[in-house]
């Protein structure tokens, strides 16, 4: 399992990116996406890749089932409408994020696609 930090200008773009990750990259989303503090997302990104050019306005945290190499390969191919950072257990913030995940508010309005996972629950909308 790895974590995806999805950074964007709006929650609509972030929800579209999550849908792309699920539908087009065919990655398995576990649980419900959570809203992150944008400054925290930027700080983690800086920790992982170094300097960032532009701070984000909105951010979200998503758990996926697949491992980091597979996630990286598949996400590279889809060009989602938001910036996605893959955080694995190799990265120091991983375990802190896992610990904080249940405390983060749910991203409202995101529904999993029924086309790939027929037995998935519909995600909470409000």
The pTM of the full predicted model, rounded to 2 decimals, is 0.84
pLDDT in tens, 83-99: 999 999 999 999 999 99
Report long-range pairs for 53-58 (Cβ below 8 Å, ≥24 apart): 56/7, 56/8, 56/9, 56/83, 57/8, 57/9, 57/10, 58/7, 58/8, 58/9, 58/10, 58/11, 58/13, 58/14
Position 118 confidence tier, pLDDT thresholds 50, 70, 90: very low
pLDDT in tens, 59-86: 999 999 999 999 999 999 987 777 999 9
The architecture of the domain spanning 2-103 is: 2-Layer Sandwich (3.30)
């Amino acid at each position: 399992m790895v974590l995806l930090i999805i950074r964007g200008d709006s929650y609509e773009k972030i929800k579209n990116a999550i849908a792309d990750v699920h539908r087009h990259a065919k990655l398995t989303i576990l649980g419900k996406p959570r809203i992150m503090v944008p400054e925290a997302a930027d700080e983690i990104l800086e920790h992982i890749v170094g300097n960032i050019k532009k701070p984000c306005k909105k951010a979200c945290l998503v758990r996926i089932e697949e491992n980091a190499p597979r996630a990286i390969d598949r996400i590279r191919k889809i060009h989602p409408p938001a910036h996605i950072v893959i955080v694995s257990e190799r990265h120091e913030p991983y375990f802190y994020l896992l610990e904080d995940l249940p405390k983060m508010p749910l991203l409202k309005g995101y529904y999993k696609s029924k086309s790939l996972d027929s037995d998935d629950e519909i995600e909470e909308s409000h």
